[in-house]
Chains A and B, each alone.
Chain A
Amino acid sequence: DAKTTQPTSMDCAEGRAANLPCNHSTISGNEYVYWYRQIHSQGPQYIIHGLKNNETNEMASLIITEDRKSSTLILPHATLRDTAVYYCIVRLLIPSNSGYALNFGKGTSLLVTP
């Protein structure tokens, strides 16, 4: 199963773009990259996911390198409410059944400052 590596913490000024990197050098061809975030004391929130093409939705953009060994989550105009722990997840297949678990790891703690 592919592992991910993220910086422990990052800062970003309010209104600026927040670029959160993730390394997943052992990703296999049929594994997706998912991003979730967890605001303090809340349940994780889905942000975006992709396979190999760049993706954009109302929350963020996901840029995946051509070799798929790394990706970047971009919050285009960070606000104070974006302060959270951001998890980059390569989808893990549970071998004993057809269910899927999310391997959250420790994520990146993003602090958006005024």
Chain B
Amino acid sequence: NAGVTQTPKFRVLKTGQSMTLLCAQDMNHEYMYWYRQDPGMGLRLIHYSVGEGTTAKGEVPDGYNVSRLKKQNFLLGLESAAPSQTSVYFCASSYWGEETQYFGPGTRLLVL
């Protein structure tokens, strides 16, 4: 039981490049979340999903897109990366919305 895993662990992009961050969970959770964390700040919700095929915007969705084609996977896409998107990205999942959220180890993204 691996829990929540994230790929890649670290990535460097140039401004304007695109990339996809992958989150996978093996706990059969319905809900999945993408957060970002900037230095000295708490986590902020980017997008979330309440089930396969559904997504919704969080607090800071601009510049990101997401997809939940399979229940166990939640993808976060950056179509045209900007330096302001330099951050650590955490994925989380929970069985239902009111249940405890379990977090992955994070993806460090540097946009030059």
Contacts and interface: CB of A to CB of B under 8 A. Distances in A.
Given A97-B50, A106-B42, A43 B104 contact: yes
Contact of A44 (B45, B56, B90, B94): B90
Given A43-B106, A99-B48, A106 B97 contact: no
B58 interface: yes
A43 B106 CA distance: 6
Contacts of B100: 34, 46, 49
Nearest to A100: B97
A94 interface: yes
B96 to A, nearest CB: 9
Contacts of A91: 98
Interface string A34-54: 100000011111100100000
Contacts of A107: 42
A100 B98 contact: yes
A46 B93 CA distance: 12
Contacts of B41: 106
A94 to B, nearest CB: 7
Contact of A101 (B33, B40, B90, B103): B33
Nearest to B41: A106
A44 B101 CA distance: 9
B103 to A, nearest CB: 3
Contact of A99 (B42, B56, B103): B56
Interface in A49-107: 49, 87, 91, 94, 96-107
B56 A45 contact: no
B106 A101 contact: no
Can you list the 5 inter-chain pairs with the closest CB atoms, starting with the nearest?
A: A104-B42, A43-B103, A100-B97, A101-B45, A104-B43
Interface of B: 4, 31, 33, 40-45, 48-50, 56-59, 90, 92, 94, 97-98, 100-106
6 contacts: A41-B106, A42-B106, A43-B4, A99-B50, A100-B97, A107-B42
